[in-house]
Amino acid sequence: MEIEIILKILLSALLGGIVGLEREISHREAGLRANILIAVGSTLITVIALKLTENASTANPTGMIAQIIIAIGVIGAGVIIRSKFEEQGLTTAATIWTVAAIGIGVGSGYYLISLLVSIFVVIILTISKYITKIIENQKKLYAYIIKTEDKAAIIIEMRKIIKELGIRYIKAKLGKIKDGFEIDVLLSTSENKNKEFVEKVMQLQGVIEIDSENL
């Protein structure tokens, strides 16, 4: 019986490692070690919960399994907050949640489906990475010269617009001019989002003028 549990732990470590290796190669948070530990821990708790049910008719394994999901949810929320709700943090949180589910699947005896989900996760993460690169390569560099009356308020609002539109920030420079301030901004984005950015910035109170140039 203990051999079966050991084999489950080893399989769980392997599947968690498959996903973790992809994360490690991509230089993302929650890499190889983290994913192995999450998978193994989830499997062990699931196995213990099921064994307790066999020995005590009143025991409820779903309660312990639910605690795994809640705990991973808390960890995922921390990752998302730390990443300031960026896509990278959301992907990491979703990955560790899925790895925990894979660990629960192994612990419950669903070996084939756990293996298939692990492979599927790696395929999705790999394909999406290349698709993102293709999209990034299609983006252009845009230089903006924004003349404003107030530097602090405009910079804060401008950052909100950049985040809202999902534009990649390159760099910015602030200078004092006769009638206020001049902000030089360099962004990487698409033509459509460039137009949206210009329109939204022009609507901000205190913006005097904005010039945009495609580099």
Tokens of 163: 């985040």
Residue 209 and residue 109 share a domain: no
Quick check: 114 and 106 in contact, CB under 8 A?
yes
75, HSE (Cβ side, Cα atoms, 13 Å): 21
Residue with tokens 């395929």, as numbered in its chain: 123
Parent domain of 174 = 139-214
| Distances, alpha carbon 185 to alpha carbons 101, 134, 149, 157, 193, in Å | 43, 24, 16, 14, 15
**Residue 81 banded pLDDT, cuts 50, 70, 90:** confident
Verify that 14 and 114 share a domain, yes or no. Answer: yes
Instruction: Kindly state whether residues 89 and 145 are assigned to the same domain.
Output: no
**Whole-model pTM?**
0.66
Residues 48 and 111 in one domain: yes
What spatial distance separates the first Cα and last Cα of the chain, rounded to whole Å?
Answer: 67
- Write out pLDDT tens, residues 8-54: 999 999 999 999 998 888 777 778 899 999 999 999 999 988 888 77
Summarize pLDDT for 88-123 with one digit per residue, the tens.
778 888 999 999 999 999 999 999 999 999 999 999
What distance in Å separates the CA atoms of residue 121 and residue 125, rounded to the nearest whole number?
Answer: 6
Same domain, 111 and 174: no
